Amino acid sequence: MEKKQTPKMSRRERKKAMTPEERKKRRKKRRIIWGSILATLIIFRLLLPYIVLHYVNGKLENLEEYYGHVDDIDIHLYRGAYEIKDIKILKKVDKGAKKDTIPFFKSPSIDLSIEWSAIFKGSIVGEISVEEPVINFVKDKHKGEDMKADTADFAQLVDDLMPVTINRFDIHNGQVHFRDLEAKPKLDIAMKNINITATNLTNVTDSKELLPATLKATAEAYQGKFVLNAKFDGLAKVPTFDMNVSLNGLHLVLLNDMLREYGNFDVKKGTFSLYGEFAAKEGKFGGYVKPFLRDLDVVQWTKEEGNFKQILWETLVASAAEVLQNQKKEQLATKLQINGTFDKANLNTWGAISYVLRNAFLHALRPAVDNSISINNLKEGGKKTFLEKLFGGNPEKKAARKEKREARKEKREERKNERKKKK
């Protein structure tokens, strides 16, 4: 005889068929499972800052020319972020037979997070916010080639610390210092209250613009105001940007220690301002800078205060400033045009000299951005000045003439060698 198969019971029917003791055991088992999961999550959440702290300090210790350390890490899971607290990075330097360190970077807080607004546009990208950073560049300790290598190391460090592409970058109340420890007195030249905001670095916002990313920066330097505005393509393989910059009203008296150290003179009064525009695309760039000295009064030493060379130099600087300044505006100014490729830049020196004379004797240059450079116009038009025509010439023709001279020189050397062989 075939056995009758008992019909399978539904979950609800099995639950009704359970005895009170079985229901109690089941509830207890569930509580244990959920309690274990919750306890595991709590323990993991408590341990997570220490895990991340160990990871970050490990990455900082692997920097070749630097040593870094982080004191604490805060995790903010609800917004997909973590905060690096009290980070310090020191530059390793050789000091005779032993190694030493000098402060390079510090910040009380660096916040790395997911940019939630970009998620709604279909992209997972990050943003970094740096609070009150201080960067120190020390003369003869941070050199050009070293800085290129250092920049690559720090770019890799940012990639390691933030595993998604950065789309927004903010700096609040930062400082940059240039220090000369060998000067007497020791120099500490600083730009303070630096605020920078860079947005749409990865072109998350669907835009057909040639320059979709923006950067805005402001700062203060010795009562002068610094402003930079730039639009650029953060994804371009070669630099592609359009920017303007201004530094207005820097008081030179506050920089007398630096002027004495590097210029061998100081001033009673005077302000320095600078305006410029630059643009670049397809590996080429163009632009200009306009420096201005206003109300300049150079200190002239007496026989009791300095030697003959010092007195002569102070007199020459003061006389040149007086002769070449525009008497009505009391400003010494010029305009230096720069263009070319990033491998080879051309400085229009004779044009700059012409602008000095034009400002002094014809009409004063305007202390503002000219709005004459753009991404579609990398070079200013207009006629060449007399000095440019007389001394500047055409760079391409100059290069061609130089090649011809070198070719003729090589032929002469060949002829000499042939005559020596015949003898």
pLDDT, residue 110, reads 92
Which is nearest to 199 in space by CA: 132, 114, 128? Answer: 128
Enclosing H/E stretch for 93: strand 81-95
Percent of the chain with pLDDT over 90: 26
Query: In angstroms, rounded to a whole number, what is the distance separating the alpha carbons of residues 301 and 306?
Result: 6
Residue 35, phi then psi, degrees to nearest 5: -65, -40
pLDDT digits (tens, 9 = 90+) for 268-278: 889 999 999 99
112: three-class secondary structure by DSSP? strand
Q: What would the two tokens of residue 124 be?
A: 């997972």
Cα 260–265–270 angle (5° rounding)?
105
Q: Mean pLDDT, to the nearest integer, of 343-368?
A: 80
Which is nearest to 65 in space by CA: 162, 143, 175, 177? Answer: 143
Cβ neighbours for 280, distance < 8 A, ≥ 6 positions apart: 238, 239, 240, 241, 286, 342, 375, 378
Residue 302 above 60 pLDDT?
no
Which is nearest to 105 in space by CA: 129, 61, 136, 150? Answer: 136
Query: In angstroms, rounded to a whole number, what is the distance separating the alpha carbons of residues 397 and 6?
Result: 103
User: Which of 52-56, 209-213, 239-243: highest mean pLDDT?
Assistant: 239-243
pLDDT digits (tens, 9 = 90+) for 97-144: 566 788 899 999 999 988 877 777 777 888 999 999 999 988 876 655
Q: What would the two tokens of residue 298 be?
A: 């150079």
Give, in order, the Cα–Cα distances in Å from 86 to each of 52, 131, 168.
14, 10, 22
Lowest mean pLDDT among 185-199, 242-256, 335-349, 396-410: 396-410
Cβ neighbours for 71, distance < 8 A, ≥ 6 positions apart: 85, 86, 87
Q: Mean pLDDT, to the nearest integer, of 36-56?
A: 83
Residue 24 above 80 pLDDT?
no
Q: What would the two tokens of residue 31 be?
A: 């509580």
pLDDT digits (tens, 9 = 90+) for 151-199: 666 777 777 787 778 899 999 999 999 999 888 889 999 999 999 999 9
Could you tell me the pLDDT band of residue 215, with boundaries at 50, 70 and 90?
Answer: very high
Report which residue type is found at 215. Answer: L
Question: Do the Cβ atoms of 265 and 314 come closer than 8 Å?
Answer: yes
Residue 391 above 60 pLDDT?
no
DSSP-assigned letter for residue 185: S
Question: Do the Cβ atoms of 284 and 340 come closer than 8 Å?
Answer: yes
Residue 386 above 60 pLDDT?
no
